[in-house]
């Protein structure tokens, strides 16, 4: 495949027709100035070394050198060959709670945004591991299949919000069950599910689901977002402006509290560990250190190779044309004149 890495430079090609037009105007003006002093029939007598053909040839060389320089600036690239790459690492599924309670601001700026910031930092530290992403509220959905494409992982992560799952709730059990199905089949790589939630489980039996994961050799780590004291849940309007707080049927403001007991039990049954998040520390650094201690197996994955720059070929051609332009004089060479390499008449003007 072919592409230009800096395609904006291609707009400079618009200037090339302007340069041609300017050159024609200058040639015509030069001829008109000469005609003020003498007739065109005397041009060769008065200026025997004059060579319009050389001048035009030098302009062609200069013109195409500019063309190739612009192409080089746009950085033409070839590549994108599909190749198989072997890596050693683990497979990790991130299960991120996107229920409205994750908008509570007992962790700044709020639970969900702080979790996303920490996950981007974690992804930046990853090298050879595979990562997948699940979002859950009342239901669980695959946001990103298991992959080593960390750029896509960060892109998908940046688009996650509480509106991505329509049904409200906190179905941790569904997230674990979907996570179990999301790993690559027939691989010996260590498998990990990381649940990031406030722990207010309202759907299914998360403890039983964690037990099923442990039976399959899948470790479950949990990160509790929020505080035991809790915080109200902001109501965000479509315009992005906060419109008060979520209330119950009696009109009382609902306080969302992190449930560390539930998250600890899930992690214990899942043979993992529980981490409590705060504004300054979400716990992903300690989690990353734990993951590094797991057995890393050979992972076979297919990925696109890097595009390879080819601009240097265009630079070489441009430099060669400029060199020829410098070596060729506009005037005739008295020693080569007899060969008439650029034979012309006054009509060539």
Would the pLDDT of 77 be above 60? Answer: yes
Residue with tokens 């299914």: 204
Contact residues for 290 (Cβ-Cβ < 8 A; gap 6+) = 221, 273
- Can you name the residues that pair with 130 across neighbouring β-strands? 91
Q: pLDDT grade, residue 194 (50/70/90)?
A: very high
* CA separation, residue 3 to residues 75, 80, 243 (Å): 8, 10, 47
Residue with tokens 């650029």: 342
Can you give the pLDDT at residue 95? 96
Rounded Cα gap, residues 10 and 1, in angstroms: 18
Can you give the pLDDT at residue 348? 45
Residues 46 and 113 in one domain: no
- Can you name the residues that pair with 275 across neighbouring β-strands? 223
Per residue in 27-66, pLDDT (tens digit) is 888 777 766 666 555 555 555 556 677 888 889 999 999 9
Can you give the pLDDT at residue 287? 85
Would the pLDDT of 178 be above 80? Answer: yes
Residues 242 and 93 in one domain: yes
Q: Containing domain of residue 208, as a range? A: 83-303
Residues 150 and 90 in one domain: yes
Residues 58 and 93 in one domain: no
Per residue in 284-323, pLDDT (tens digit) is 778 888 888 777 766 666 665 667 788 899 999 999 999 9
The structure's pTM equals 0.62
Can you give the pLDDT at residue 73? 93
Residues 42 and 132 in one domain: no
What's the mean pLDDT in 125-131?
88
Can you give the pLDDT at residue 96? 96
Residues 73 and 94 in one domain: no
Can you give the pLDDT at residue 336? 47
Can you give the pLDDT at residue 203? 67
User: Which has more confidence, 154 or 127?
Assistant: 154
Residues 106 and 16 in one domain: no
Residues 103 and 183 in one domain: yes
Residues 292 and 313 in one domain: no
Rounded Cα gap, residues 110 and 114, in angstroms: 6
User: Which has more confidence, 162 or 346?
Assistant: 162
Would the pLDDT of 116 be above 80? Answer: yes
Residue with tokens 């494409």: 149
* SS3 sequence of 283-307: CHHHHHHHHHCCCCEEEEEEEECCC
Can you give the pLDDT at residue 309? 83
Rounded Cα gap, residues 162 and 44, in angstroms: 83
Residues 72 and 106 in one domain: no
Residues 90 and 180 in one domain: yes
Burial of 76 (0-12, 13-18, 19+ CB in 10 A): buried
Residues 174 and 236 in one domain: yes
Would the pLDDT of 347 be above 60? Answer: no
Number of structural domains found in the chain: 2
CATH of the domain at 260: 3.40.50.410
């Amino acid at each position: 495949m072919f592409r230009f890495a800096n395609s904006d430079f291609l707009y400079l090609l618009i200037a090339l027709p302007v340069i041609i037009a300017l050159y024609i105007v200058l040639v015509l003006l030069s001829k008109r100035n000469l005609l003020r002093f003498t007739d065109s029939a005397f041009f060769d007598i008065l200026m025997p070394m004059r060579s319009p053909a050389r001048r035009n040839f030098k302009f062609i060389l200069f013109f195409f050198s500019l063309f190739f320089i612009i192409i080089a600036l746009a950085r033409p690239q070839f590549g994108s060959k599909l190749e198989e790459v072997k890596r050693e690492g683990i497979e990790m599924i991130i299960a991120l709670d996107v229920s409205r309670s994750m908008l509570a601001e007992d962790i700044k700026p709020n639970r969900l945004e702080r979790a996303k910031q920490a996950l981007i930092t974690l992804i930046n530290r990853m090298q050879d591991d595979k990562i997948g992403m699940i979002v859950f509220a009342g239901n669980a959905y695959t946001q990103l299949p298991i992959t080593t494409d960390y750029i896509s992982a960060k892109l998908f992560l940046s688009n996650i919000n509480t509106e991505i799952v329509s049904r409200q709730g906190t179905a941790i059990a569904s997230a674990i069950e979907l996570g179990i199905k999301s790993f690559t089949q027939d691989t010996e790589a260590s498998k990990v599910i990381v649940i990031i939630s406030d722990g207010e489980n309202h759907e299914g039996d998360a403890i039983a689901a964690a037990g099923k994961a442990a039976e399959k050799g899948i470790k479950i780590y949990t990160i509790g977002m929020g505080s035991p004291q809790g915080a109200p849940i902001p109501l965000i309007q479509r315009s992005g402006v906060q419109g008060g707080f979520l209330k119950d049927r009696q009109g009382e403001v609902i306080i969302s509290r992190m449930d560390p007991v539930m998250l600890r039990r899930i992690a214990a049954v899942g043979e993992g560990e529980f981490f409590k998040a705060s504004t300054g520390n979400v716990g992903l650094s300690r989690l990353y250190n734990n993951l590094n201690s797991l057995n890393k197996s050979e992972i076979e994955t297919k990925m696109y190779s890097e595009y390879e720059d080819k601009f240097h070929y265009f630079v070489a051609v441009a430099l060669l044309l400029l060199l020829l332009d410098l070596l060729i004089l506009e005037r005739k060479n008295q020693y080569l004149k007899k060969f008439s390499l650029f034979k012309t008449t006054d009509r060539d003007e």
